[in-house]
Structure 1
Amino acid sequence: MLFKTVVQSSGHSEITDINMAEFGEILQNIGEFGLFQKLILVALCGPNFIQNFLLASLVFIQSDPERHCNTDWILQADPNLTTDEQLNLTLPREEDGTFSRCQMFVPVDWDIGDIREYGLNETTGCHNGWVYGNSLYEATIVTDFDLVCDKANLVEVTQAVFLGGAVVGVLIFGPFAESFGRKRATQASAVLGFIFCVTTALCPNVYLYMASQFLVGLGIGGYRVNCIILVTEWIGPSKRSWGACVTLLCAAIGQCVLAGVAYAIRHWRLTQLITAVPLAVLASYIWFIPESARWLLSRGRKEEAKQLIVKAATINKRTVPDSLLEKIVINDAVQKGGIEILFRSSILTRYFFIVVLAWFSVNLAILSLYFNMETFGLSIFLTQLLFGAIEIPANLFAMWLLEVFGRRISSISPLLAGGLASVLLLAVPEGHAIAFTSLAVAARFFLIWAGSVTAVFTQELFPTSVRQSATALGSMSGRLGGLLAPLLNILSIYHWSIPTTVLSSLTLISGALCFLLPETRRKELPESTEEAENNRNVTSTKTESLKQESTKL
């Protein structure tokens, strides 16, 4: 392909034509999906297996466990009191005759005879914590940090804080990757996630817990978006969807395993420490992952890119013709200016807002249902297993149908189907747990499918100079949707149908808007705004001729 380079010399511009070997043509020669790419895919996407384990302390909780105020103060007056006597003397009763969960009688410095004779009447809140009983778990953040009564809403706040960290992580590490490289952004976020995953398990109070969880979210949010981009930029068009889809597939398998781990351990701190082990392994080898050659070329680091290309070819047992390496030049035609490029083009701006809404609505719906699954009526462990198991075929479907029907139809169909399944939840009568859970699982199937397609679609719509930033902002909008999910669930106190109505409406709207997106199946990643706007196909005769030349050599 020919492009024009403007060379500044002696105060005037000289225009020259230079042959450029595009990176897509290079991949055709070194292998679009050889051993080199597979190793990177496993090394970077595999650790997403434990991503949902980070949500264990936020999901596997009982928001309103059986409890009463700790009233051991009265044992100083008579240490031989039975439990029933202690509760009768120190706790007021509700209208239904049960002991109050949030009130106790004010402690007094009387002997036990006076307390029995005169009784206690003045009430107060629980001064010395709570005593919990009949819990599904040995310990949760609710029981460890006493997130009940006037602190009950902090459960939703902790969920929002973690997801808020993920939003900030994408916002920070997306532009960071554009400036300092995909590799460094992936390394920094992986190490950050590991360190604060450990500190989270050791937090003594809810406020330190929230601060630590925010930083975990920051690291994990940055890692996920950058690992997908780094993998994708090394894979050719025929298998490009694997980067995002394998990441989500690993997360789906992790969902299933999480149900078993939480059922067996039932202690959030231990689960958190178990989660840190794979992150420690990741932090140990992340330094050996290669940088994206596409990014190196976009930054003018031609020799480093050449070395990685030769290394990739060697691992794939392919040979790179010297004539092809000599044609690699720096594409100065790629615009500078960062994310502003998106908004200088009306077409790219339209694409951007459509995919941003898709990310947002899908994640809002997925996490709103996920954080609310303890209310479905079935065992939370069974629901977790179903939610994880349904993600596996959803991601496999996405990987297959992306290549069969293309990106556009594969995006529209699951969004509309997921929105419709969510709407039908409103028609399920109260008490029909199996029907409600079945519909919720069906909705999750389509939403996960839609999320996989959106992650792939976003990377293929935008040029290299802003691909990372556009994907990061799209992912950030998804994280923002997740951040608002627990807050949306709070609106159910006004009417139970509000959360479902909002999430299903947004999903249906985003599905309809996807009709305005172009098809990008088996087309080379665009390098400039013009190529992105024209959505050109680089499976050209030149590529074929280069393949023939490589075969002859």
Structure 2
Amino acid sequence: MTDPAPLILRSSSSSSSVVAAEASPPSSGTRTSTLDDTIERCIGDYFGWTQFLRAILISLAWAFDAQQTFITVFTDVDPTWHCTRNNTTNICSSSSQVCLLPDEAWSWDLPPYTSTISEWSLQCAGSFLAGLPASSFFAGSLAGGFVLATLADSSLGRKKLLVLSCLLMSISGLLTALVSTNVWIYTALRFLCGFGRASVGTCALVLATEMVGKRWRAHVGMIGFLFFTLGFLSLPLMAYLNRGSSWRVLYFWSCAPTVLYSILVHFFAYESPRWLYVRGRKQEFLSTLKRIATVPTPQLLDITSSCFSNNTNSSSGTTGCELDIDDATRNAANFWNSSSYYALWEKPWAFRRLAAVMAIGFGTGMVYYGMPLGLGNLSFNLYLSVTLNALSEFPAAFMTFFLIATLNRKGLVLGLSVASGVCSCLIIVVEQVINSNSYYYWWRNALQMVLELASFFSACTGFNVLMIFTLELFPTSVRNSALSMVRQAVVFGGLFSPLLVAAGRNGFLSYGVFGVTIAVSGLFVGCLPETRGAALCDTLDEQEHKETLAFSAKITHECA
């Protein structure tokens, strides 16, 4: 594949000369290095223990993200109860509705402080109030995604926003354990926690993948997905060890380590060299590149000396750089508009891509969050089924690891979406074909569980592939914003899942709608280009110019 036209050129005294240089390829006698060339030569080929540990540190944020996403499964659980000896009139039985019984006829199996439902007597308050804190968390994630995402692409950068988001998420979680005296304060703090959590996964993914060459991009991205699964699986263990204790203890033990993690990232992680360069911070770019480079020092000095001059610009005080971009070109290219979202919407091709991946994310999110929530609708052991769903994320992550290296992104997303949709719809078919009084009732339950796991597994794998696909579809200047928008679409799809689960206890409105939605959303992949093996671009104009050249070359080849 030919290199894209050089976006990053030598400094020029006039904007017209720069524009002319961008418009035409370099002469055969000289070749101007691009930012991608320089980074690839410094960090692209080798991936050792230092790079691995750096990726581990950054990707660990996904584990804390997962804990706060699913923590209400245990803290807001509807506790079990039993009839008391004071039940002299025999009005209480295991089939009774607790809200219709007098207080002296029943009691909780565990102390009331083990769950928010029992501590604040929400068992009869209605499903809306009992589920309000969880809904508030996802609402906060939606709001935080829109507000915080542009900061990673503009003023704060990837590293600082990751630290800020983790601190906001963890401190609000600690406050939840300390000051929540009623469901309304609890709901407000869950909203704040979701607001901070919104950018954690996105910043960790972008920062980790921009610290390595394109050869290792997908592999490093998978480390984050594995940590998300580990964080999810850590919750049942923490909840089991915390059984009989206050639900507040679970918040404390999940949030206190996040504060320590934020401090470690602040002192030991590096900022993305791509972001530093595009923001014009050349000295920090060069310093970071030297620290994370995997080539021997003499070779690194040769590379950097060929890309940077040792003279200092007396007027600006910055290091003169052969890869420099002057202010006029930066403004003309609209690198850093006040909003990265505006830059995405301004370019028709970028908007079409964003709309397509968000549509796919919506269907994926509906199944990803809806399948675990709907397990209570299946006649299968709930605890076992939840454990199996959590464990299925491991093979999904490993499967993505191998599939992403061998197959095209478009075919993967489409195939996984359709597979998930078909399995989800088959759950309803099995429900209708084999009734509950049949001799094969046990086999029906087992088959439904297998289909549910297959659908959830496909959705998990599809989500992982979609994140890598989105990362490759957009340039550095808007990549974080695009990834955040896709994650917001996934969360938005999840918001509808509880409603569909409640409305479709015994019908098509749960698994049937899940299946149709994700299968149809997968068809939007036809609006996207294939990105397997493609080099990352740094600006929208560079991406547009590269693809224009590729399209022109394709037309010329077909007409030849």
- Fold shared per TM-score above 0.5: yes
Q: Give the alignment partner of residue 410 of structure 1, picking from 396, 409, 412.
A: 412
* Cα distance, 1:514 vs structure 2: 0.8
- Which SS does the other structure have where 1:329 is aligned? coil
Residue 520 of structure 2 is matched in structure 1 by 509
* Cα distance, 1:530 vs structure 2: 4.6
Residue 242 of structure 2 is matched in structure 1 by 265
Q: Deviations over 1:512-551 (max 9, x none)?
A: 2213321111211122335434665999xxxxxxxxxxxx
Q: Does 1:46 align with 2:21?
A: no
Q: Give the alignment partner of residue 238 of structure 1, picking from 202, 210, 215.
A: 215
- Which SS does the other structure have where 2:389 is aligned? helix
Q: Counterparts in 2 of 1:100-499, with a 5 A limit?
A: 101-103=98-100, 132-134=107-109, 139-180=114-155, 181-202=157-178, 203-266=180-243, 267=245, 268-288=247-267, 289-313=269-293, 319-321=300-302, 322-326=305-309, 327-330=322-325, 332=329, 334-336=333-335, 337=337, 338-429=340-431, 432-492=444-504, 496-499=507-510
Q: Does 1:518 align with 2:529?
A: yes
Letter in 2 for 1:229: V
* Cα distance, 1:314 vs structure 2: 6.4
Aligned-partner Cα distance in 1 for 2:260–2:531: 36
* Cα distance, 1:178 vs structure 2: 1.7
Pair 304,50 (structure 1): closer, same or farther in 2 beyond 3 Å: closer
Aligned-partner Cα distance in 2 for 1:524–1:362: 27
TM-score (norm 2): 0.80
Larger deviation: 353-362 or 498-507? Answer: 498-507
Is contact 2:61-2:200 (8 Å) kept? no
Pair 403,222 (structure 1): closer, same or farther in 2 beyond 3 Å: same
Is contact 1:63-1:152 (8 Å) kept? no
- Which SS does the other structure have where 2:119 is aligned? helix
Aligned-partner Cα distance in 2 for 1:522–1:185: 29
Pair 132,153 (structure 1): closer, same or farther in 2 beyond 3 Å: farther
Is contact 1:159-1:486 (8 Å) kept? no
Residue 110 of structure 1 is matched in structure 2 by none
Is contact 2:365-2:491 (8 Å) kept? yes
Is contact 2:79-2:118 (8 Å) kept? no
Larger deviation: 51-60 or 364-373? Answer: 51-60
Is contact 2:177-2:251 (8 Å) kept? yes
- Which SS does the other structure have where 2:107 is aligned? strand
Pair 7,27 (structure 1): closer, same or farther in 2 beyond 3 Å: closer
Letter in 1 for 2:334: Q
* Cα distance, 1:310 vs structure 2: 1.1
Pair 20,476 (structure 1): closer, same or farther in 2 beyond 3 Å: farther
Pair 405,100 (structure 1): closer, same or farther in 2 beyond 3 Å: closer
* Cα distance, 1:392 vs structure 2: 1.0
Aligned-partner Cα distance in 2 for 1:97–1:451: 41
Letter in 1 for 2:293: A
* Cα distance, 1:391 vs structure 2: 0.9
Is contact 2:65-2:201 (8 Å) kept? no
Aligned-partner Cα distance in 1 for 2:424–2:101: 43
* Cα distance, 1:443 vs structure 2: 0.9
Aligned-partner Cα distance in 2 for 1:279–1:137: 28
* Cα distance, 1:195 vs structure 2: 0.5
Is contact 1:255-1:387 (8 Å) kept? no
* Cα distance, 1:249 vs structure 2: 1.2
Aligned-partner Cα distance in 1 for 2:12–2:405: 44
Aligned-partner Cα distance in 2 for 1:452–1:420: 19
Aligned-partner Cα distance in 2 for 1:8–1:173: 35
Aligned-partner Cα distance in 2 for 1:329–1:365: 46
* Cα distance, 1:7 vs structure 2: 8.5
Aligned-partner Cα distance in 1 for 2:94–2:515: 41
* Cα distance, 1:343 vs structure 2: 2.7
Q: Deviations over 1:470-521 (max 9, x none)?
A: 111111111212233223323226x632122222112111212213321111
Aligned-partner Cα distance in 2 for 1:31–1:8: 28
Is contact 2:112-2:118 (8 Å) kept? no
Aligned-partner Cα distance in 2 for 1:97–1:166: 39
Residue 122 of structure 1 is matched in structure 2 by none
Letter in 2 for 1:517: L
- Which SS does the other structure have where 2:530 is aligned? coil
Residue 66 of structure 1 is matched in structure 2 by 81
Larger deviation: 150-159 or 184-193? Answer: 150-159
Letter in 1 for 2:133: T
* Cα distance, 1:144 vs structure 2: 1.9
Is contact 2:62-2:204 (8 Å) kept? no
Pair 64,374 (structure 1): closer, same or farther in 2 beyond 3 Å: farther
Gaps of 5+ in 2: 23-30, 310-321, 551-560
Letter in 1 for 2:404: L
Residue 313 of structure 2 is matched in structure 1 by none
Q: Deviations over 1:112-158 (max 9, x none)?
A: xxxxxxxxxxxxxx7xx995334699822222222212333323322
Larger deviation: 337-346 or 395-404? Answer: 337-346
Is contact 2:421-2:455 (8 Å) kept? yes
- Which SS does the other structure have where 2:532 is aligned? coil
* Cα distance, 1:192 vs structure 2: 0.5
* Cα distance, 1:233 vs structure 2: 1.6
Is contact 1:458-1:471 (8 Å) kept? yes
- Which SS does the other structure have where 2:60 is aligned? helix
Q: Deviations over 1:441-476 (max 9, x none)?
A: 111111011001111111111122221211111111
* Cα distance, 1:190 vs structure 2: 0.8
Letter in 1 for 2:172: F
Is contact 2:413-2:465 (8 Å) kept? yes
Letter in 2 for 1:394: A
Is contact 2:242-2:249 (8 Å) kept? yes
Pair 455,29 (structure 1): closer, same or farther in 2 beyond 3 Å: same
- Which SS does the other structure have where 2:181 is aligned? coil
Pair 409,264 (structure 1): closer, same or farther in 2 beyond 3 Å: same
Pair 441,352 (structure 1): closer, same or farther in 2 beyond 3 Å: same
Pair 243,154 (structure 1): closer, same or farther in 2 beyond 3 Å: farther
Letter in 2 for 1:446: S
Aligned-partner Cα distance in 1 for 2:229–2:118: 28
TM-score (norm 1): 0.81
Task: Provide the aligned C-alpha RMSD in A.
Answer: 3.2
- Which SS does the other structure have where 1:487 is aligned? helix
Report the count of equivalent residues: 497
Q: Deviations over 1:46-105 (max 9, x none)?
A: 23224333245422355474368xxxxxxxxxxxxxx53x4447x9x48x8976622467
Is contact 2:397-2:461 (8 Å) kept? yes
* Cα distance, 1:372 vs structure 2: 2.7
Give the % identical residues.
23
Is contact 1:245-1:399 (8 Å) kept? yes
Pair 264,479 (structure 1): closer, same or farther in 2 beyond 3 Å: same
Aligned-partner Cα distance in 1 for 2:37–2:295: 18
